[in-house]
Amino acid sequence: MLFITYVAVTAATIAANAGMAAADFAKARFVLGNSAEVGLPASWVPYLGALKMAGAAGLLLGLAGVPFIGIAAAAGLVLFFVGAVAAHVRARVFHNLAFPAGYLALAVASLVSAVAH
């Protein structure tokens, strides 16, 4: 049961972060709008996408049998999304706070399940 939870949660986190990284790389209108609202320059968007993609790749390596990489990737994503939530709060952009908070919840669940596994 724990293994199934670990795989399911981690797969969802990989898909979510890879999808958002793709949107970052494509400079999707909603991504650029959101970054402007929280005060981040558009030039940062590809770098943030690279961090999300690196996290997704690390989680995938964790699933593939390199657990310390998966744990490190999950911890990195937790820190990343704590920063994203903080950026939203600092800028008082609360109308879409659920998105970075949801990604943070996925990252925390991946970290907890990877450590427990």
CA distance 20 to 1: 29
Q: Is the pLDDT of residue 20 over 90?
A: yes
Q: pTM of the entire structure?
A: 0.94
Whether 73 contacts 57, CB under 8 Å: yes
Whether 2 has a pLDDT exceeding 90, the answer reads no
Q: How many CB atoms lie within 10 A of CB 77?
A: 27
Whole-angstrom Cα distance, residue 71 to residue 114? 6
Residues 103 and 20: beta-carbon distance below 8 Å = yes
Total domains, the chain? 1
Give residue-wise pLDDT tens across range 55-73. Answer: 999 999 999 999 999 999 9
DSSP 12: H
User: What range defines the domain where residue 66 resides?
Assistant: 2-116
Tokens of 18: 């890879």
Cα–Cα distance between 111 and 62 in angstroms, integer? 11
Q: What is the pLDDT of residues 72-117, one digit of tens each?
A: 999 999 999 999 999 999 999 999 999 999 999 999 999 999 999 8
